[in-house]
A and B are shown apart, each in its own frame.
Chain A
Amino acid sequence: MNEVLSGLSGGFGVALMPLNLFLVLIGCFAGTLIGALPGIGPINGVAILLPIAYSLGLPPESALILLAGIYYGAEYGGRISSILLNVPGDAGAVMTTLDGNPMAKRGEAGRALSISAIASFVGGTIAVILMSLFGPFLAKFALTFTPADYVALMVFAFASLSSLVGKNQVKTLMGAAIGLMLATVGIDANTGVARYTGGIPDILAGFDFLVVVIGFFGMAELIHLVEQQISGKLKLLPIGKSFVSWKDLMQIRWTMLRSSIIGFVIGVLPGVGASVASAVTYGTEMRMAGEDRKKFGTGDPRGLAAPESGNNAAAGGAMVPMLTLGIPGSGTTAILLGALMLFNVTPGPLMFEQRPEIAWGLIASMYIGNLALLVINLPLVGLFARMLTIPQKYLSPLIAVLAFIGVYSVVGNPFDLFLIIAFGIFGWVLRKLEFSLAPIILGFVLGHLFEDNLRRALSISRGDWSILVSTWESIGLYVMAVLIVALPVIIGIRNRRKAK
């Protein structure tokens, strides 16, 4: 406990430095703006702004604080278009439309926005508190991990990913494999052998992380937006003067608490992020409501608070495995992890000891950021709502311009510009085929770590593969991996039998 307190006080020392405080506020503000833009979710926002944040020459902890601010700011902002337009910014915001939009249609948009802001705040804050309590212990536990354990951990991460993300498990696994395969391109660090470079000098060092991210999450999104080209005008509902009441808060207090905890736990699972959390919390609340469940979907405050607390808590929870194990908990944290690697910081169990200013600084900044988001969201919601009226015809070109600036300013190689276009087209096709793109980026980020640990484990055992199951930690992880894949299948078969 002492350790947590001293860590936190050190963290606040970092987070309250004028530059970092400024960056938290800027990040939260920009994140909310981006999250409010129709069609652009947190992952796209972080992807597009990552290279710019990188090339600003900030110290790693400051850059991470900025990017994390954008991340949870965008989780906040995503609800605005869900409520006012019935258009979710990303998969995590879909559930918010169910009860948020009906409230706005009744003329209670102000109430819906303020309820969801408070629910988001509660979710985000509970997640940070849980993170500061459990993070250091998980990190300490992870310190004992051998390379073989890491291999098991990675297998578990991909198992939970393919079991819980996307419609088609095989496609999720295939996406992860694509990411892992992309990571094998370039010179192998151990032997100096070039793999899959096709003699092209520009990719001898492998695909740049930024290029892959911008391609899959910036350009693919742009192509998607142009394909959809929201024709005609979307009807923006007026915000009005209604506001959250004390009665509302009393009605949703347990909903928020439950959803935050569930959301956090789901967020911690590797690979599973906000979209699963919001769906699960919504379903749970509906079941808890009993007779009242008919009100869900017609503008019930509980149906609005549950997914908002859930997805913000999951966004925080997803940071835990990233900071403590070096395994990202979601697509967006995979991008943050890649960002840390760009700064030559290796996230993982040692970070709490060796780079406390990054680990604790980030955690402390999240306390501040959540509070800041609540404060700027309640009065300024009208300003953010205006972002929704930016016409697509101007927004789309700007996405391309930002993506180009980002990629060019970091490496300065025009070849990369063509690469992001190619990745963008590839990503768009995959999206059309109902692939989820997050597994690709997770695979890409974890590729080297996975391979290196496997090779290290086998060189420790001199080629004996049984080392992979030689510790209890690894056996436990493999068992969990099997369970997480098998359980949904078994439950599915059972339900079908019951239905008969």
Chain B
Amino acid sequence: MADRLFALFALIAGGIYTYVAFFIIKAPFQYDPLGPETWPQVLAVVFLLCSLYVLVRPDHIQFALGRSVWLRLLMLVVMLGGYAELYEPLGFVISTALFCCLLSVMLGANRLHSVAFGCATGIIGYGICDYLLGLNLPEGLLAPFL
């Protein structure tokens, strides 16, 4: 069932890809016999054939996850999205501390440990990356102090 559903999605996405390959991509002028559209056309055909095969002969796959697992994954994705969104505005130290703290709480750490863990990761991580390795990380709110 999960496989069929996926194959259906793949057919739709592959269909769009194919349409673009055959009708949209055009070079204004070209010297070579193969233009920018040929290669995507070849791939599109291979991909559609594979999707059709999976649709007709799907594997039996257990995709069923408990509700708590779905919830946990949803929260993870939300946290990751928030982390990405706040990465530049808040800066590495604060956003990392927040993210690590929240995620470790969700995964079962107690509050005190998770706060300590979050702050330590943010500060030590910045120290190692910025001062020791010379990597470029966002300073954000703490810019005046770093």
Contacts and interface: CB of A to CB of B under 8 A. Distances in A.
Contacts of B108: 393
Interface residues of A toward B: which range?
Answer: 35 or more
A195 B40 contact: yes
Contacts of A454: 34, 39
A404 B51 contact: no
A191 interface: yes
B36 A434 contact: no
A425 B65 CA distance: 15
B8 interface: no
Interface in A407-433: 408-409, 412, 414, 417-418, 421, 424-425, 429, 432-433
Interface in B109-127: 109, 114, 117-118, 121, 125
Interface in B24-53: 25-28, 30-36, 38-40, 43-44, 46-47, 50-51, 53
Interface stretch (A287-295, A306-314, A457-465): A457-465
A418 B76 contact: no
A417 B87 contact: yes
Given A57-B134, A226-B73, A459-B34, A404 B87 contact: yes
Nearest to A462: B33
Contacts of B38: 455
The secondary-structure label for the interface of chain A is helix
Contact of A433 (B6, B88, B109, B117): B6
A426 to B, nearest CB: 11
A190 B32 contact: yes
A178 interface: yes
Interface of A: 52, 55-57, 167-168, 170-171, 173-174, 177-178, 180-181, 184, 188, 190-191, 193, 195-196, 219, 222-223, 226-227, 229, 391-394, 396-398, 400-401, 404-405, 408-409, 412, 414, 417-418, 421, 424-425, 429, 432-434, 450-451, 454-455, 458-459, 462-463
20 contacts: A167-B59, A168-B59, A170-B53, A171-B50, A173-B46, A174-B50, A174-B51, A181-B43, A190-B32, A393-B103, A393-B109, A394-B117, A398-B100, A412-B136, A424-B80, A433-B2, A433-B63, A450-B39, A455-B38, A459-B34
Given A177-B50, A405-B135, 11 more contacts: A55-B135, A171-B50, A171-B54, A184-B39, A193-B28, A226-B72, A226-B73, A393-B109, A394-B117, A404-B84, A409-B129
